[in-house]
Structure 1
Amino acid sequence: MKKIYVIRHCEAEGQSPEAQLTGVGMEQALALSDFFSNTKIDRMISSPYKRAIDSISPLAKRCNINIEIDRKLAERILSTKNLPDWFEKLRSTFDDLELKFEGGESSEEAMNRIVEVIEEAFRRTNKTTVIVTHGNLMSLLLRYFNKDFGFEEWRRLTNPDVFLLMNDNYKVTFQRVWE
Protein backbone atom coordinates (compact mmCIF):
# COMPACT_ATOMS: atom_id res chain seq x y z
CA MET A 1 0.00 0.00 0.00
CA LYS A 2 1.33 3.40 -0.98
CA LYS A 3 1.12 6.27 1.49
CA ILE A 4 1.29 10.02 1.06
CA TYR A 5 1.46 12.32 4.04
CA VAL A 6 0.02 15.71 3.14
CA ILE A 7 1.22 18.45 5.48
CA ARG A 8 -0.06 21.96 5.93
CA HIS A 9 2.87 24.25 6.69
CA CYS A 10 3.69 25.46 10.20
CA GLU A 11 2.72 28.87 11.63
CA ALA A 12 4.07 31.71 9.48
CA GLU A 13 4.44 35.47 9.71
CA GLY A 14 2.20 36.14 6.71
CA GLN A 15 0.78 34.97 3.40
CA SER A 16 3.45 36.10 0.91
CA PRO A 17 5.58 33.45 -0.77
CA GLU A 18 8.59 34.75 1.23
CA ALA A 19 6.83 34.73 4.64
CA GLN A 20 8.99 33.08 7.26
CA LEU A 21 7.96 30.78 10.05
CA THR A 22 7.30 32.40 13.40
CA GLY A 23 9.24 31.24 16.47
CA VAL A 24 6.33 28.92 17.24
CA GLY A 25 6.40 27.75 13.61
CA MET A 26 10.08 26.81 13.90
CA GLU A 27 9.26 24.76 17.03
CA GLN A 28 6.39 23.13 15.12
CA ALA A 29 8.79 22.18 12.30
CA LEU A 30 10.97 20.38 14.85
CA ALA A 31 7.87 18.68 16.28
CA LEU A 32 6.96 17.52 12.75
CA SER A 33 10.40 16.01 12.40
CA ASP A 34 9.91 14.17 15.70
CA PHE A 35 6.41 13.08 14.65
CA PHE A 36 7.88 11.28 11.62
CA SER A 37 10.93 9.89 13.46
CA ASN A 38 9.72 6.27 13.11
CA THR A 39 8.44 6.60 9.54
CA LYS A 40 10.53 5.54 6.56
CA ILE A 41 10.12 8.28 3.97
CA ASP A 42 11.22 7.81 0.37
CA ARG A 43 10.40 11.21 -1.15
CA MET A 44 9.57 14.80 -0.12
CA ILE A 45 7.84 17.40 -2.28
CA SER A 46 7.09 20.97 -1.22
CA SER A 47 5.36 24.11 -2.32
CA PRO A 48 7.94 26.71 -3.41
CA TYR A 49 6.80 29.02 -0.58
CA LYS A 50 9.43 29.57 2.10
CA ARG A 51 7.08 28.64 4.97
CA ALA A 52 6.37 25.25 3.38
CA ILE A 53 10.03 24.43 2.72
CA ASP A 54 11.07 25.54 6.20
CA SER A 55 8.30 23.44 7.75
CA ILE A 56 9.81 20.25 6.38
CA SER A 57 13.52 21.13 6.38
CA PRO A 58 14.29 19.58 9.81
CA LEU A 59 12.70 16.30 8.68
CA ALA A 60 14.53 16.38 5.34
CA LYS A 61 17.83 16.82 7.20
CA ARG A 62 16.98 14.00 9.61
CA CYS A 63 16.10 11.65 6.72
CA ASN A 64 18.88 12.92 4.46
CA ILE A 65 16.38 13.46 1.63
CA ASN A 66 16.37 16.34 -0.83
CA ILE A 67 13.17 18.39 -0.95
CA GLU A 68 11.71 18.52 -4.45
CA ILE A 69 9.93 21.80 -5.23
CA ASP A 70 6.68 21.69 -7.19
CA ARG A 71 4.91 24.92 -8.15
CA LYS A 72 1.61 23.03 -8.35
CA LEU A 73 1.67 22.90 -4.53
CA ALA A 74 1.74 26.71 -4.14
CA GLU A 75 -1.16 28.31 -2.31
CA ARG A 76 -4.29 28.95 -4.29
CA ILE A 77 -4.80 32.55 -5.35
CA LEU A 78 -8.38 33.53 -4.57
CA SER A 79 -8.01 36.88 -6.36
CA THR A 80 -5.35 39.39 -7.27
CA LYS A 81 -7.67 42.12 -5.97
CA ASN A 82 -7.91 42.99 -2.29
CA LEU A 83 -11.16 41.38 -1.14
CA PRO A 84 -12.36 42.85 2.19
CA ASP A 85 -14.94 40.03 2.34
CA TRP A 86 -12.44 37.34 1.30
CA PHE A 87 -13.69 34.94 4.00
CA GLU A 88 -17.21 34.86 2.55
CA LYS A 89 -15.85 34.73 -0.98
CA LEU A 90 -13.71 31.73 -0.02
CA ARG A 91 -16.74 30.06 1.58
CA SER A 92 -18.67 30.50 -1.67
CA THR A 93 -15.90 28.73 -3.64
CA PHE A 94 -16.54 25.58 -1.61
CA ASP A 95 -20.19 25.66 -2.73
CA ASP A 96 -19.43 26.50 -6.36
CA LEU A 97 -16.16 24.87 -7.43
CA GLU A 98 -16.14 26.79 -10.72
CA LEU A 99 -16.55 30.23 -9.10
CA LYS A 100 -13.60 32.45 -9.94
CA PHE A 101 -12.66 35.96 -8.84
CA GLU A 102 -10.54 38.48 -10.73
CA GLY A 103 -6.99 37.19 -11.22
CA GLY A 104 -7.64 34.08 -9.13
CA GLU A 105 -8.29 30.45 -9.79
CA SER A 106 -11.40 28.44 -9.12
CA SER A 107 -11.51 25.66 -6.53
CA GLU A 108 -11.73 23.20 -9.39
CA GLU A 109 -8.57 24.55 -11.05
CA ALA A 110 -6.63 24.49 -7.77
CA MET A 111 -7.95 21.03 -6.94
CA ASN A 112 -6.87 19.69 -10.32
CA ARG A 113 -3.27 20.83 -9.89
CA ILE A 114 -2.78 19.24 -6.46
CA VAL A 115 -4.54 16.05 -7.56
CA GLU A 116 -2.05 15.92 -10.44
CA VAL A 117 0.84 15.90 -7.92
CA ILE A 118 -0.84 13.20 -5.81
CA GLU A 119 -1.62 10.96 -8.78
CA GLU A 120 1.96 11.28 -10.03
CA ALA A 121 3.28 10.40 -6.56
CA PHE A 122 1.05 7.32 -6.39
CA ARG A 123 2.33 6.18 -9.81
CA ARG A 124 5.94 6.28 -8.59
CA THR A 125 7.66 3.29 -7.02
CA ASN A 126 8.11 5.17 -3.72
CA LYS A 127 6.09 3.66 -0.89
CA THR A 128 5.94 6.73 1.36
CA THR A 129 5.94 10.34 0.17
CA VAL A 130 5.64 13.55 2.17
CA ILE A 131 4.01 16.56 0.49
CA VAL A 132 3.95 20.05 2.04
CA THR A 133 1.38 22.56 0.91
CA HIS A 134 -1.14 25.13 2.16
CA GLY A 135 -4.48 24.93 3.94
CA ASN A 136 -6.83 25.86 1.12
CA LEU A 137 -5.11 23.60 -1.38
CA MET A 138 -4.97 20.75 1.15
CA SER A 139 -8.69 21.07 1.87
CA LEU A 140 -9.50 20.98 -1.84
CA LEU A 141 -7.43 17.81 -2.22
CA LEU A 142 -9.29 16.17 0.66
CA ARG A 143 -12.60 17.29 -0.86
CA TYR A 144 -11.62 15.56 -4.10
CA PHE A 145 -11.51 12.24 -2.23
CA ASN A 146 -14.46 13.01 0.08
CA LYS A 147 -17.15 15.45 -1.08
CA ASP A 148 -18.16 16.07 2.56
CA PHE A 149 -14.86 17.84 3.27
CA GLY A 150 -15.78 21.49 2.91
CA PHE A 151 -15.40 25.00 4.22
CA GLU A 152 -15.99 24.12 7.89
CA GLU A 153 -13.39 21.35 7.72
CA TRP A 154 -10.95 23.85 6.18
CA ARG A 155 -11.59 26.17 9.12
CA ARG A 156 -10.69 23.38 11.56
CA LEU A 157 -7.29 22.71 9.98
CA THR A 158 -4.33 23.61 12.17
CA ASN A 159 -0.82 24.86 11.44
CA PRO A 160 0.72 22.41 10.95
CA ASP A 161 -1.69 19.64 10.10
CA VAL A 162 -1.04 16.19 8.68
CA PHE A 163 -3.30 13.85 6.74
CA LEU A 164 -2.36 10.38 5.56
CA LEU A 165 -3.61 9.34 2.11
CA MET A 166 -3.52 5.62 1.43
CA ASN A 167 -3.88 4.04 -1.99
CA ASP A 168 -5.00 0.44 -1.76
CA ASN A 169 -5.78 -1.05 -5.17
CA TYR A 170 -6.67 2.37 -6.63
CA LYS A 171 -8.99 3.23 -3.77
CA VAL A 172 -7.73 6.32 -1.95
CA THR A 173 -8.75 6.94 1.63
CA PHE A 174 -7.45 9.49 4.11
CA GLN A 175 -7.30 10.19 7.80
CA ARG A 176 -6.01 13.02 9.95
CA VAL A 177 -2.95 11.84 11.89
CA TRP A 178 -1.76 15.08 13.52
CA GLU A 179 -2.85 15.75 17.09
Structure 2
Amino acid sequence: MLTNLYFVRHAHSIYTPEELKRPLSKKGLSDIEKINQQLIKESIDYVISGPYLRAVQTVEGVAKSIEKEVIMENAFKERQLSSGPVEDFQLAITKVWQEPSFCWEGGESNVVAQKRGVESTLKVLERYEGKNIVIGTHGNIMVLIMNYFDNNYGFDFWNELNMPDIYKLSFDKSELKEVNRIWSKD
Protein backbone atom coordinates (compact mmCIF):
# COMPACT_ATOMS: atom_id res chain seq x y z
CA MET A 1 0.00 0.00 0.00
CA LEU A 2 1.43 3.36 -1.06
CA THR A 3 1.79 6.39 1.14
CA ASN A 4 1.33 9.66 -0.75
CA LEU A 5 2.95 12.86 0.44
CA TYR A 6 1.65 16.02 -1.20
CA PHE A 7 4.39 18.60 -0.75
CA VAL A 8 2.84 22.05 -1.14
CA ARG A 9 5.17 24.94 -1.69
CA HIS A 10 3.44 27.93 -0.12
CA ALA A 11 1.61 30.51 -2.18
CA HIS A 12 3.02 33.99 -2.85
CA SER A 13 3.71 35.97 0.33
CA ILE A 14 4.34 39.55 1.35
CA TYR A 15 8.02 40.04 2.10
CA THR A 16 8.81 40.89 5.69
CA PRO A 17 12.05 40.23 7.58
CA GLU A 18 10.02 38.28 10.16
CA GLU A 19 10.02 34.76 8.64
CA LEU A 20 7.65 33.16 11.14
CA LYS A 21 4.76 35.59 10.64
CA ARG A 22 5.16 36.50 6.94
CA PRO A 23 1.60 36.30 5.52
CA LEU A 24 0.34 35.44 2.07
CA SER A 25 -0.18 38.29 -0.37
CA LYS A 26 -3.52 39.01 -2.07
CA LYS A 27 -2.26 36.95 -5.00
CA GLY A 28 -1.34 34.10 -2.65
CA LEU A 29 -4.69 34.22 -0.88
CA SER A 30 -6.49 34.01 -4.23
CA ASP A 31 -4.50 30.88 -5.14
CA ILE A 32 -5.30 28.89 -2.00
CA GLU A 33 -8.89 28.16 -2.96
CA LYS A 34 -7.63 26.48 -6.17
CA ILE A 35 -5.09 24.53 -4.14
CA ASN A 36 -7.80 23.37 -1.74
CA GLN A 37 -10.04 22.26 -4.61
CA GLN A 38 -7.21 20.24 -6.16
CA LEU A 39 -6.16 18.57 -2.92
CA ILE A 40 -9.70 17.71 -1.82
CA LYS A 41 -9.90 15.49 -4.94
CA GLU A 42 -6.96 13.49 -3.54
CA SER A 43 -8.76 11.99 -0.50
CA ILE A 44 -6.44 13.62 2.02
CA ASP A 45 -6.20 11.99 5.46
CA TYR A 46 -3.91 14.43 7.33
CA VAL A 47 -2.43 17.90 6.90
CA ILE A 48 1.00 18.76 8.29
CA SER A 49 2.75 22.11 8.00
CA GLY A 50 5.93 23.85 8.90
CA PRO A 51 5.40 26.67 11.45
CA TYR A 52 5.70 29.67 9.12
CA LEU A 53 2.38 31.46 8.63
CA ARG A 54 2.56 31.44 4.82
CA ALA A 55 2.89 27.63 4.75
CA VAL A 56 0.06 27.15 7.25
CA GLN A 57 -2.23 29.58 5.40
CA THR A 58 -1.62 27.71 2.15
CA VAL A 59 -2.86 24.34 3.49
CA GLU A 60 -5.22 25.14 6.37
CA GLY A 61 -8.27 25.13 4.08
CA VAL A 62 -7.62 21.48 3.24
CA ALA A 63 -7.50 20.63 6.96
CA LYS A 64 -10.80 22.44 7.52
CA SER A 65 -12.41 20.58 4.63
CA ILE A 66 -11.48 17.20 6.16
CA GLU A 67 -12.37 18.46 9.64
CA LYS A 68 -8.91 18.00 11.12
CA GLU A 69 -6.36 20.31 12.67
CA VAL A 70 -3.12 21.19 10.91
CA ILE A 71 -0.35 19.16 12.56
CA MET A 72 2.61 21.46 13.14
CA GLU A 73 6.05 20.07 12.32
CA ASN A 74 9.00 22.42 12.83
CA ALA A 75 11.29 20.37 10.58
CA PHE A 76 9.33 21.44 7.49
CA LYS A 77 10.25 25.11 7.98
CA GLU A 78 12.37 26.73 5.30
CA ARG A 79 16.11 26.30 5.43
CA GLN A 80 17.95 29.06 7.25
CA LEU A 81 20.22 30.59 4.61
CA SER A 82 22.05 32.95 6.99
CA SER A 83 21.58 34.73 10.30
CA GLY A 84 20.57 37.94 8.54
CA PRO A 85 19.67 39.26 5.11
CA VAL A 86 22.14 38.39 2.36
CA GLU A 87 23.41 41.06 -0.02
CA ASP A 88 22.98 38.90 -3.15
CA PHE A 89 20.36 36.17 -2.69
CA GLN A 90 21.06 34.46 -6.03
CA LEU A 91 24.78 34.20 -5.26
CA ALA A 92 24.09 32.98 -1.71
CA ILE A 93 21.62 30.28 -2.73
CA THR A 94 23.71 29.13 -5.69
CA LYS A 95 26.77 28.65 -3.47
CA VAL A 96 24.98 26.42 -0.94
CA TRP A 97 23.66 24.22 -3.75
CA GLN A 98 27.09 24.04 -5.41
CA GLU A 99 28.80 23.19 -2.12
CA PRO A 100 26.34 21.09 -0.04
CA SER A 101 28.44 21.27 3.16
CA PHE A 102 28.94 25.04 2.95
CA CYS A 103 26.86 27.40 5.07
CA TRP A 104 26.72 31.15 5.41
CA GLU A 105 27.16 32.63 8.89
CA GLY A 106 24.28 31.48 11.07
CA GLY A 107 22.75 29.45 8.25
CA GLU A 108 22.20 25.79 7.41
CA SER A 109 24.15 23.94 4.78
CA ASN A 110 22.22 21.78 2.31
CA VAL A 111 23.49 18.73 4.21
CA VAL A 112 22.14 19.96 7.57
CA ALA A 113 18.79 21.23 6.22
CA GLN A 114 18.28 18.06 4.18
CA LYS A 115 18.97 15.84 7.20
CA ARG A 116 16.37 17.75 9.23
CA GLY A 117 13.73 17.49 6.50
CA VAL A 118 14.41 13.86 5.61
CA GLU A 119 14.32 12.66 9.23
CA SER A 120 10.88 14.21 9.62
CA THR A 121 9.70 12.85 6.27
CA LEU A 122 10.74 9.32 7.24
CA LYS A 123 8.83 9.66 10.52
CA VAL A 124 5.72 10.81 8.61
CA LEU A 125 6.04 7.83 6.25
CA GLU A 126 6.23 5.44 9.19
CA ARG A 127 3.49 7.07 11.27
CA TYR A 128 0.98 7.50 8.43
CA GLU A 129 1.72 4.49 6.25
CA GLY A 130 -0.87 3.98 3.53
CA LYS A 131 -2.37 7.46 3.98
CA ASN A 132 -2.52 10.64 1.88
CA ILE A 133 -0.77 13.48 3.68
CA VAL A 134 -0.49 17.14 2.70
CA ILE A 135 2.72 18.84 3.84
CA GLY A 136 2.74 22.63 3.74
CA THR A 137 6.32 23.73 3.28
CA HIS A 138 8.82 25.83 1.33
CA GLY A 139 10.74 25.48 -1.90
CA ASN A 140 14.27 24.89 -0.67
CA ILE A 141 13.50 22.36 2.05
CA MET A 142 11.02 20.57 -0.23
CA VAL A 143 13.61 20.13 -2.98
CA LEU A 144 16.30 19.10 -0.50
CA ILE A 145 13.96 16.34 0.72
CA MET A 146 13.12 15.29 -2.83
CA ASN A 147 16.83 15.32 -3.70
CA TYR A 148 17.56 12.81 -0.95
CA PHE A 149 15.24 10.28 -2.58
CA ASP A 150 16.13 11.16 -6.20
CA ASN A 151 19.12 13.33 -7.09
CA ASN A 152 17.43 14.51 -10.29
CA TYR A 153 15.76 17.09 -8.05
CA GLY A 154 18.30 19.82 -7.40
CA PHE A 155 19.05 23.50 -7.86
CA ASP A 156 17.75 23.75 -11.43
CA PHE A 157 14.50 22.06 -10.39
CA TRP A 158 14.15 24.43 -7.43
CA ASN A 159 14.73 27.40 -9.73
CA GLU A 160 11.75 26.33 -11.86
CA LEU A 161 9.25 25.98 -8.98
CA ASN A 162 6.25 28.24 -8.78
CA MET A 163 4.47 29.75 -5.78
CA PRO A 164 2.42 27.73 -5.07
CA ASP A 165 3.36 24.31 -6.43
CA ILE A 166 2.25 20.80 -5.48
CA TYR A 167 4.21 17.58 -5.91
CA LYS A 168 2.82 14.16 -5.06
CA LEU A 169 5.51 11.73 -3.90
CA SER A 170 4.35 8.12 -3.70
CA PHE A 171 6.25 5.78 -1.40
CA ASP A 172 6.28 2.06 -0.66
CA LYS A 173 7.52 2.16 2.95
CA SER A 174 10.47 4.58 2.59
CA GLU A 175 11.19 3.85 -1.08
CA LEU A 176 10.16 6.60 -3.48
CA LYS A 177 8.17 5.06 -6.32
CA GLU A 178 6.86 8.04 -8.27
CA VAL A 179 6.75 11.83 -8.35
CA ASN A 180 3.98 13.78 -10.04
CA ARG A 181 3.37 17.49 -10.25
CA ILE A 182 -0.34 17.70 -9.61
CA TRP A 183 -0.85 21.44 -9.73
CA SER A 184 1.09 24.51 -10.54
CA LYS A 185 0.29 28.18 -10.88
CA ASP A 186 1.76 28.74 -14.33
1:105-134 residue CA offsets vs partner (Å, 9 max, x unmatched): 101111111111211111024511110111
Overall identity of the aligned pairs, in %: 28
1:2-44 residue CA offsets vs partner (Å, 9 max, x unmatched): 1111110111002522111111111111111111122211111
How many residue pairs get aligned? The number is 179
**What TM-score do the two structures reach when normalised by structure 2?**
0.90
Offset at residue 171 of structure 1 (A): 2.1
Aligned residue for 2:165?
Answer: 161
Aligned residue for 2:119?
Answer: 116
- Aligned Cα root-mean-square deviation (Å): 1.4
Q: 2:179 aligned to 150, 174, 179, which one?
A: 174
Aligned residue for 1:55?
Answer: 58
Offset at residue 64 of structure 1 (A): 0.8
Structure 1 residue ranges without an equivalent (≥5): none
| Distance in 2 between residues matched to 1:171 and 1:9, nearest whole Å | 25
Aligned residue for 1:81?
Answer: 84
Alignment of 1:133 with 2:137, yes or no, is yes
Aligned residue for 2:15?
Answer: 14
User: 2:146–2:153: 8 Å Cα contact kept in structure 1?
Assistant: yes
| Distance in 1 between residues matched to 2:128 and 2:150, nearest whole Å | 25
Offset at residue 169 of structure 1 (A): 5.1
| Distance in 1 between residues matched to 2:180 and 2:149, nearest whole Å | 11
| Distance in 2 between residues matched to 1:9 and 1:161, nearest whole Å | 7
| Distance in 2 between residues matched to 1:125 and 1:20, nearest whole Å | 29
SS of the equivalent of 1:159 reads: coil
Aligned residue for 1:143?
Answer: 147
| Distance in 1 between residues matched to 2:126 and 2:62, nearest whole Å | 23
Amino acid paired to 2:71? E
User: 2:6–2:168: 8 Å Cα contact kept in structure 1?
Assistant: yes
SS of the equivalent of 2:183 reads: coil
